[in-house]
Chains A and B, each alone.
Chain A
Amino acid sequence: MDPQRKRKIRLVVALSVAVLLSVALIYTSFAASTEAKQPSELIGAAPGTSYEMTGKVVKGSIRHHGNGIAFKVVDRDEKGQSLPVTYHGTVPDPFRGGREIVLTGQVQNGTFVGEAETLITKCPSKFTTKNG
C-alpha cells in the first residue's frame, strides 16, 4: 500500500476512535451527573431523586443525634425558606453554622437526607475577606 494512503487510513481510524470515545464521555457524563439545587428549590421536591444540594448552614441550627446531625440550610444569598437536613457520618473539619456546604441526598418527608460521606464543607481558606 502506498504510504500516503496508509497514513490517511491511520488518521481516519484514529479520528473515529477519538469521536467514539468522546461520545461515550459525553453520554456518560450526562447520565452520571447529579442535578445541583439550592435549598429553596428542594422544598417540596419529589422523593426518590438524588440531588446535589448547595446551601448555607443556618447558624445555631446544628443539633447532634447519636452519630448523626440535624441542621437547616438556606440559599447562598440567605433569602427564602430554610430546609431541614439530616446527615449521618463524619463531619468535615470546617463544618459549622454560616458555612457553605455541598451535600448529595434525597428529599424524604420534607427533610433532605444526606448520603454518608458526601458532605463537603467549603474550606474557609484563602481569599476570604472575613474570617467566617
Chain B
Amino acid sequence: MASFGSVLLALAFVAALAAGGLALCGRNGDRRRVELSRRVVYAFCGLLTACVVIIEVAFASNDFGFKIVQEHSSIETPAFYKLAAMWSSQEGSLLLWAWVLSIASSVALWATRDKLREIVPYATAVMMGVAAFFTGLMLFAPDVQPFATLSPAPSDGIGLNPLLQHPSMMIHPPMLYSGYVAMTVPFAFAIGALITRRLDAEWIRSTRRFALVAWTFLGFGLLLGARWSYTELGWGGYWAWDPVENAALMPWLVSTAFLHSIMVQEKRGMLKVWNACLVVGSFSMALLGTFLVRSGVLQSIHAFGDNTVGPYILALIGIVVIGSTLLIVSRLDDLRSPKRIDSLVSREAVFLVNNLLLIGLTAVIFWGTFFPLISELFTGNKASLAAPWFDRYTTPLAILLVLFTGIGPLLAWRRVSWESARRVFRVPVAVGLVAALALAIFTDAAHRPWALALFAFAAFALTGLAQEFWTGAAARRRLTGESTPAALVGLVSRNRRRYGGYIVHAGVAVLLIGIAASSSFQTNRNIDLKPGQSTTIDGYEVTYARPTASVDKLAFTAGAVLRVVKGGEEFNLHPTRNFYRQTGEAGNGSISNYFGGESDSNIGLEAGLARDFWTAVQPNITGIEAAARRADEGFKACVAGGPGTPPQCKAVGAMMRAALANPKLRPVALAQIEKLQEATAQRIARGYLAGNSAATFKVIVNPLVTWMWIGGLIALAGALIAIWPVRSRRRGALVRTEADARKEAKYREIRDAELDHAAGKLSDDDFALVDAELRREALEILNAGNGKPMPSEANGHATNGADGNGAEPHTPEKVEQS
C-alpha cells in the first residue's frame, strides 16, 4: 500500500505541474486548455485525497510498517486519536497542507468557472505552483516522506503523546492549517489580477469569501488553542506571546485589515495598492507561520524538532515577497485611484484608521517575535522579549481598535453630517460614559485605567451595534409589517454580509472584555496545603479535604479534593495529576517508570459567567518515588534470589529464571509480574493517601473569563452568517457574468446608502448627493454592459427598498423618511 501511495503522490505532483502549465498555455483565451487545467486540478485533489485515505487506513488498522504510523500511534491509542495522529507528524502535516490546498483550489476554480476569464489561468498557475512545492517537498526532501516504510514492521508503535490526546488538539491544527491554506486563493487571484492589469474589484468579489473563510478558520483555530491551553496545560493561561501563537495571530490580523479595506475598494475603487500589499502580506504571514512551526529558529514552547524543510519554505517566502513586490511596483500606475476620501468622518476613513491600527499591531508582534534574531544580528546576543513588553504595546492598540469598531458601523460611507452623527452617536456615547462611571464608582476598575477604558469603549461599541440592529429592524418592520423578531431575522438573513460582520464585531468586543477582565483582575496564587488545612483566596475559603490516588495500567494518578466556600456558594473540585508510564516498558518490572514518563494535569474548574475558579495540583511525590524505588530494589533482590529473601519472593524469582530459559513460559510470567506490579503500585497509592503529605495548589480566580469563549463563539457565528452564500432573489440566477456582478455591487451600494438614510446616518442632503452620484455610476455600468434599466427616477429616492438583499432595489417597498 505504501508504494502505491508513493506513486499516487508522484502522480499528484505531476498533475499540479501539468495543471499550472496548461493554465498558462491557455492564458491568451484558449478556453479548452483552461477548462482542461481545471479538470486536472480536480484530479490533483482526487489523488491527494487517496493519499490521505491510505494513510488514515494505515493508522486505523495499526499498520506499523508505515513509519508515520509507528512513530505517532500505537495499539493502545484510542481510535479517535489514531485518525488525528496523522497531523501530529511533520510529513502528515505537510500532506494535510497540500490536501487542503487542493480542495480550496478546486472549490475556487469551480466557483469562478464562468468568471474572471483573464485572471483564472494565472491564479491556477500560482495555486498549483504552491501545491507542487508542498507535494514536491514530500517527494524529494529528506525525512518527510509520508509513505516511508519500516521493514520488518514493528509489532507496536510509539504512541501519541498523552498531552495531545484532547479533543481540541484534534481540531486545532487542521483549523489553523485550513486558515493558512485558504489564504492562498485570494493571493493567487490578486497575482492574476496584477499580471493582467484587471485591477477593479472583480477579483475581490470572487475571492472575498475565501479570505473570510481563511480568517474564520484561523480565528477559530486560535480560540481552540487558547481553550486547550487554559483547560489542559495546568498553567491556567490562554496566551503567552509565544512565537508559534504569534505566527498564527499575525496573518489573522493582516487578513482582518484586508477584509475591511477591500470593502473600500469595492465601494469606492480606492486603496488598491494597499489591498494588493495586504493580500501579499496575509499570504506571506501564513507561510511564515508554516515556516516558524517547522524551523526551530526561534525558541518556542511548541518545540517542533529542528528539521529539513525550513530552508525550502523560507525560499518560497522569499520568492513570494520579492516577486509580489516587483509586480506591485510595476503596476503602480494601474493601481492609482482618481478618488480621494471625501471626509475624515466617513466609514472609509474609519476603515483606514482601523487598518493602520491592525497593521501597527502586526508590526509590534512581528518585531517582538523576531527580536531574538534581530538582537543577535546587532548585539550578538539572542535576547528575547517577554509578555509585559508585548502587553505594553498591544493593550492600547487593542483598546483603540475596540473604539473604532464601535465608530465604524455608525458612520455612513462617503460623508456624514454633524447633525446625523449626533443623532446616531447620542445613545452609544451616553451608555459608554455611564458604564465607565458606574464601573469606576462601584468596582475597583478605576485602578486599571486601561481595562476601564476598554470596558467603556466596548459598552459604546456594543450599544452602537445594538442600535444598528434596532433601527434596521424598525425600518424593516415598517416596510413589511412583521413582528420585531421576524423583522430582525429577515434583516440579518437579507443582509448577511453586513449584519454577520456586526455580529463578529459584537463577539470580538465581548471577547476583549473577557481578556481585559481576566488579565487585569485575576487572583493567581500558589499555596501549600496539607490535608485538612484551609486558606482564604479572594474571599473563597479553600480547604484541602482529602488526597486521592489511583493506579491503572497506563498511569499513576494522584490528586486532591478541594472544598471551596464563599458566602452561600459551595463546591468541590477534584484536580489530579497523571504520571504516565513510559510506553513499551510495562513488563520490565520497574514501578519507577510510572514517574519517568509524561505527566499531565486534570484541572479542577468551576466555571461561571461572573468568574472561573481554576485549580491545578502538584502533589508532593517524593514519598511515592522513594517507595517505588524501594519496591524496584526489592523486586531485583527477589529475582536475584539471594540469601534471606521471603518465600513468596522466591517463587517469583524462580518463575522469572524459568521464563528466561523457556520462552513458552514468558507470557505467564509477564502476566504474573504485571499483577504483582499493579498490587505494589496500589500499595504505594494507599501509602500516599495515609501519608498526609502536602501538595502545592495553583489557584486562579479569573473574573469574566467565560465571556472570552462566549465572545469567540458569537464571532464565529457572525462569520458563518457572513460566509453563507446569498442566493439572488431571482431564483437560481446566481450572478454569472462580470457585468452582472458589477451591476449587483452598485445596486448593493445604492441600497446601503438607502439603509443608512433610513437609519438616520445620512442626512437628506448628503443622501441626495450620494444617491445621485451612485445612480450616475450605475447608469454608466448599464450603458457599458447594456443590461437592465435602473429603477426609474420617477419613483423617487425615498421610495426605493431599504432592505438590501441579493437583487436590485425594488420599488414597492416604501421607507418612511426618518
Q: Which of A26, A34, A126, A130 has the most CB of B within 10 A?
A: A126
Q: A32 touches which one: B388, B598, B616, B698 (CB < 8 A)?
A: B388
How far apart sit A121 and B340, CA to CA, in the bound complex (Å)?
Answer: 52
Partner of A36, one of B299, B393, B601: B299
Contact indicator B303/A100 (Cβ below 8 Å)? yes
**A-B Cβ contacts below 8 A, count:** 141
In the bound complex, do residue B381 and residue A104 qualify as a contact, i.e. CB atoms below 8 Å apart?
no
Q: How far is the CA of A104 from the CA of B790 in the complex (A)?
A: 69
Instruction: Say yes or no: B233 contacts A67, CB within 8 Å.
Output: no
Q: Is A47 engaged at the interface, CB distance under 8 Å to the other chain?
A: no
Contact of A94 with B598 at beta-carbon distance under 8 Å, contacts A125-B161, A125-B303 already known: yes
Instruction: Please choose the segment from B26-34, B99-107, B321-329, B366-374 that sits at the chain A interface, where 4 or more of its residues have CB less than 8 A away.
Output: B366-374
Interchain CB contact (< 8 A) of A64 among B89, B304, B620:
B620
How far is B618's CA from A92's CA once the two chains are assembled, in angstroms? 10
The answer, yes or no, to whether B164 is at the interface (CB within 8 Å) is yes
B384 interfacial contact with A, CB 8 Å: yes
Partner pick for B163 among A32, A67, A94, CB 8 A cutoff: A94
Q: Is the CB of A21 within 8 A of B386?
A: no
Q: Roughly how many angstroms separate A125 CA and B375 CA in the complex, as a whole number?
A: 28
CB distance from B699 to the nearest CB of A (A): 10
Inter-chain contact A93/B303, CB cutoff 8 Å: no
Residues of B within 8 A of A121 (CB): 301
Among residues of A, the one whose C-beta sits closest to the C-beta of B620 is A64
- The reply on A54 being an interface residue by CB < 8 A is yes
What is the bound-complex CA distance between A33 and B385, given in angstroms? 5
User: Which listed residue (B303, B384, B596, B616) contacts A90, Cβ 8 A?
Assistant: B616
| Residues in A60-98 with C-beta less than 8 Å from chain B | 64, 66-67, 89-94, 96-97
- Interchain CB contact under 8 A, A123 and B389: no
Cα A74 to Cα B596 in complex, Å, equals 19
- Could you tell me if B393 and A25 are in contact, using CB atoms closer than 8 angstroms? yes
Chain A residue nearest in CB terms to B90? A127
Closest to B71 in A: A129
Q: Does A43 contact B (CB under 8 A)?
A: no
Please indicate the chain A residues that have their CB under 8 angstroms from the CB of B526 in the complex.
67, 89-90, 116
* Bound form: Cα–Cα A25–B394 in Å: 11
Q: Using Cβ atoms and an 8 Å threshold, which residues of chain A touch B293?
A: 126-127
B307 interface residue (CB < 8 Å to A): yes
A95 to chain B, nearest CB (A): 8
A124 within 8 A of B: yes
Known contacts A33-B371, A33-B383, A127-B307; can you find 7 more A-B pairs with CB under 8 A?
Answer: A28-B389, A36-B372, A36-B382, A54-B299, A66-B694, A96-B599, A122-B301
Contacts A89-B526, A92-B233 given; indicate if A122 touches B302 (C-beta within 8 A).
yes
Question: Can you pick out 11 interface pairs between chain A and chain B where the beta carbons lie within 8 Å of each other?
Answer: A3-B340, A29-B389, A30-B375, A120-B240, A125-B161, A126-B87, A126-B93, A127-B293, A129-B71, A130-B158, A131-B159
A21 and B299 contacting across the interface, CB-CB below 8 Å: no
- Report yes or no: A131 in contact with B161, Cβ–Cβ below 8 A: yes
Select one of B93, B234, B601 contacting A127, CB under 8 A.
Answer: B93
- Total number of B residues with any Cβ neighbor in A under 8 Å: 64
* B233 and A129 within 8 A (CB): no
B588 contacts the other chain (CB 8 A): no
Contact partners of A22 in chain B: CB under 8 A:
363
Known A-B contacts A36-B381, A125-B304, A127-B93; the reply to A93 vs B294 at CB < 8 A is no
Please give, as numbers and ranges, the residues of chain A lying within 8 Å of B392 by CB-CB distance.
Answer: 28
Is residue A102 contacting chain B, with contact meaning CB distance below 8 A? yes
Tell whether, in the assembled complex, residue B389 and residue A125 are in contact, meaning their CB atoms are under 8 Å apart: no
Instruction: Please indicate the chain A residues that have their CB under 8 angstroms from the CB of B360 in the complex.
Output: 21
B305 within 8 A of A: yes
Closest 3 CB pairs of A and B: A122-B303, A33-B383, A127-B304
Residues of chain B with a CB closer than 8 A to A36's CB: 299, 372, 381-384
Would you call B679 an interface residue if the criterion is a C-beta within 8 Å of the partner chain's C-beta atoms?
no
The docked-state distance in angstroms from the alpha carbon of A22 to that of B598 is 44
Contact (Cβ within 8 A) B302 A123? yes
* B741 at interface, CB cutoff 8 A: no
Interface string of B325-352 (1 = CB under 8 A from A): 0000000000000001000000000000
Task: Among A3, A7, A34, A104, find the residue whose CB has the most chain B CB atoms closer than 10 A.
Answer: A34
Contact of A35 among B93, B367, B381 (CB under 8 A): B381
Residues of A contacting B597 with CB < 8 Å? Answer: 96
* Nearest opposing residue in chain B for A64, CB measure: B622
B522 at the interface (CB under 8 A from A): no
Asked if B367 and A93 make an inter-chain contact with CB atoms under 8 angstroms apart, the answer reads no
Residues of A within 8 A of B301 (CB): 102, 120-123
Which residue of chain A has the shortest Cβ distance to B597 in the bound complex?
A96
Question: Using Cβ atoms and an 8 Å threshold, which residues of chain B touch A102?
Answer: 299, 301
Quick one: which of B205-235 are within 8 Å of A by CB?
233-235
Let me know if A93 and B385 touch, CB within 8 A: no
Q: Is the CB of B599 within 8 A of A93?
A: yes
The answer for the CA separation of A116 and B305 in the assembled complex, in Å, is: 27
In the complex, what's the smallest C-beta–C-beta distance from B697 to chain A, in angstroms? Answer: 9
Query: Is B163 a contact partner of A126 (Cβ separation < 8 A)?
Result: no
List which A17-68 residues lie within 8 A (CB) of chain B: 21-22, 25-26, 28-30, 32-36, 52, 54, 64, 66-67
Q: Is B464 an interface residue (CB 8 A)?
A: no
Measured in the bound complex, the distance between the Cα atoms of B524 and A116 in whole Å is 12
How long is the Cα–Cα vector from A92 to B808 in the complex, in angstroms?
Answer: 59
What is the CA–CA distance of A128 and B92 in the complex, to the nearest angstrom? Answer: 12
B710 to nearest A CB, angstroms? Answer: 27
Instruction: Tell me the complex Cα distance, A78–B204, Å.
Output: 53
Closest CB in chain A relative to B419 CB, distance in Å: 25
* Chain B residue contacts of A3, Cβ below 8 A: 340
Q: Mark A97-121, 1 if CB is under 8 A from B, else 0.
A: 1001010100000000000100011
* B385 with A123: CB separation less than 8 A: no
Contacts of B385 in A (CB 8 A): 29, 32-33
Chain B residue contacts of A123, Cβ below 8 A? 163, 301-303
Q: Which residues of A contact B149 (CB under 8 A)?
A: none
Which of B87, B161, B371 interacts with A124 by CB under 8 Å? B161
Decide if B618 touches A127 in the complex (CB within 8 Å).
Answer: no
